[in-house]
Amino acid sequence: MNKKSLFWLFALVLVLSAFLAACGDDDASSESGSEGEGAEGAAEGEPQKGGTLVYGLDAPPEGLYSSAFYGIATDFEVIELFDEALINYNENLEPEPNVASWETEDNKVFNFTFEEGVKWHNGEELTVNDWVFALETIADPDYDGPRYANVQTIEGAEAYRSGDADSISGIEVVSDYEINITFDEARVNNLTNLWAYPLPESVLGDVPVAEMSASEWVRSTPIGIGPFKVDKIVPGESVEFSKFDEYWNGDVNLDKIVLRVIDNSSVVGALQNNDIDMISLQPVSGPEVEPLENVEIRTYPGLTYYYVGFKLGKFDNESQTITEELPKYQSKELRQAMMYALNRQEWVDAFFFGYADVVNKPVPSAHWNSADDGELIQYEYDPEKSKQMLDEAGYVDTNDDGFREDPNGDEFVVKFSHYATGNPTFESRAQAIAQYFEAVGLRSEVEMVEVNLYYDMVEKDDASIETFFGGWGTGTDPDPSGLWKADQLWNYPRYNNPEADQLLDDALDIEIVGTDQEKRKELYVEWQKIVNEELPMLYIAELEEIKALNTRVGGVEYDVSGQNSPAEWFVTE
């Protein structure tokens, strides 16, 4: 039971920094001896049985407690306490069997075998039919979640989604515990891209797909196959879990876990007073938590980056296409000038407290396909160059008010949106970005939007969102297609570049790259060079993950793949 589960979207998960408890929203450095890949929790010795662990969240979940429907990382933090994926990932981000093992000879047809006797929390046995149910739900035309990218490459998924077929032809059920899945073509990452969470058909089978995300089985009484089951949910406040006695994968140490939502301003006090045992820490809290004798801060390599995005178009999720181009930020020269205007190092130092590094591409450095900075434009802070580029692009002050008009002589205002939570630094850092733009003559306005509303507005291309702050956590296979290709919902800037899309396709094509990781990297580097030059978003920083653990907590392990199973956690008193 030493497997690590990783954030999945392919896995790719939205990380609005307030939500990514593992990354906080900033960055923090740890004291000597308080970090270490694979290191165990603060308590030492043999695991103890029993007791209750209090798990903290510093922002309320949205309340979509289903692997198929969640969109923010706080919801995932709840889910991973009671559910598990069929496949796990090790510290090298390599897939390992969990409930399912697999074989393939050609990376197109995969045979999966399930463990027998795995029980859902309602007592029903997990079978491959629950996985088929999940895959068909995600491919259903009425599905309103963000996971279709993890299903669409199965042979027949497109026909099923369009209503031209009653089933997905690439799915063949052999028995309750064996299934064959055929993809539309051989790709290097077919396995790591495949959605690997089943759904309980026994409780959701009669719920119309269009109504699932609002159903009680997602919002208030979710079930999974993990070591703890959900007993009670108080929306926005708490979730209570108890040990699942029929857990399939060995002993469970704790009797209970109580998850509590803590206002960000109260986190340090809650840790100091032993009110919570573990929490993903915001970097702003790091300096206050470090001196606490009853708390250990631990960091581990992150797979998260933050950015300022531009809305370049609008997306139709039904047709999976960008249907409209928005003109305001189409100028590459404008976007580059705005990048040179940002003193990113100063900003990172001020708001991430040493737990982040400036980044120039949307692939975290911890991934094998990350381009070397020497291959990319660095965009060192240079306000004079920014001003010159704006002048040359036609953004000049025509009325002597101190701010630039657009090339047509019309007023130009950078409308910058940022999500609002209890974190007191968010508005300050948003204003700091706006001030960098104003320093080169670009009038700027900041709008702080309640975080759950913000996520919905960005995804639906609300007209009030023009530039926006966001973050992404990448998954096991670092292929960025699900966040960047023109046919993907989570391509929030609505970036549309066929050449860039083709590079991403080629990097997965067995006929082109075989299984040669270096050939894949060459193509990914070429792609990074394009998006580094074109800047559909301004890349800001990549983060470490930060956790705070009470010294009574043991058995917790972290590495780049995330945390180990909560079945292994324990408390000493």
Specify the pLDDT at position 31.
27
CA distances from 271 to 58, 138, 282, 467, 492 (A): 12, 40, 13, 36, 36
Report helix, strand or coil for 452: helix
Over residues 8-34, the pLDDT tens digits come to 332 333 333 333 333 333 332 222 222
CA distances from 194 to 4, 5, 151, 163, 394 (A): 17, 15, 6, 21, 47
Mean pLDDT score, 40-67: 87
Task: Convert 518-545 to b/e letters by CB count within 10 Å (16 or more is b).
Answer: eebbbbbbbbbbebbeebbbbbbbbbbb
Over residues 184-196, the pLDDT tens digits come to 999 999 999 999 9
Over residues 72-116, the pLDDT tens digits come to 889 999 999 999 999 999 888 889 999 999 999 999 999 999 999
Over residues 345-403, the pLDDT tens digits come to 999 999 988 889 999 999 988 888 999 999 999 999 999 999 999 999 999 999 999 99
Pairing of strands 100-104, 109-114: antiparallel
CB atoms within 10 A of CB 141: 11
Specify the pTM: 0.76
C-alpha to C-alpha distance for 134 and 150, rounded to whole angstroms: 11
- End-to-end CA separation in angstroms for the chain: 23
CA distances from 289 to 38, 207, 269, 299, 570 (A): 22, 46, 9, 13, 22
pLDDT reading at 38 higher than 90: no
Structure tokens at 320: 């999976």
C-alpha to C-alpha distance for 347 and 358, rounded to whole angstroms: 9
Which residues are CB-neighbours of 537 under 8 A, at least 6 positions away?
307, 308, 309, 310, 362, 470, 493
Specify the pLDDT at position 42.
58
Helices (H) and strands (E) in the chain, counts: 18, 24
Phi first, then psi: give them for residue 540, nearest 5 degrees.
-110, -60
C-alpha to C-alpha distance for 82 and 244, rounded to whole angstroms: 9
How far from chain centre, in Å, is Cα 255? 30
C-alpha to C-alpha distance for 530 and 521, rounded to whole angstroms: 14
| Structural element, H or E, at residue 386 | helix 383-392
Over residues 220-270, the pLDDT tens digits come to 999 999 999 999 999 999 999 999 999 999 999 999 999 999 988 899 999
C-alpha to C-alpha distance for 134 and 130, rounded to whole angstroms: 6
How far from chain centre, in Å, is Cα 309? 16
Which residues are CB-neighbours of 554 under 8 A, at least 6 positions away?
40, 41, 42, 43, 44, 45, 47, 48, 569, 570, 571, 572
C-alpha to C-alpha distance for 154 and 162, rounded to whole angstroms: 14
Phi first, then psi: give them for residue 420, nearest 5 degrees.
-115, 130
Q: Is the distance from CB of 128 to CB of 95 less than 8 angstroms? A: no
In this structure, the chain runs to a length of 573
Q: Residue 388: exposed, middle, or buried by beta-carbon count in 10 A (0-12, 13-18, 19+)?
A: middle
CA dihedral 526, 530, 532, 534 (to 10 degrees): 180
Of the pLDDT bands very low, low, confident and very high (cuts 50, 70, 90), residue 36 is very low
Task: Convert 172-203 to b/e letters by CB count within 10 Å (16 or more is b).
Answer: eeeeebebebbbbebbbbbbbbbbbbbbbbbb
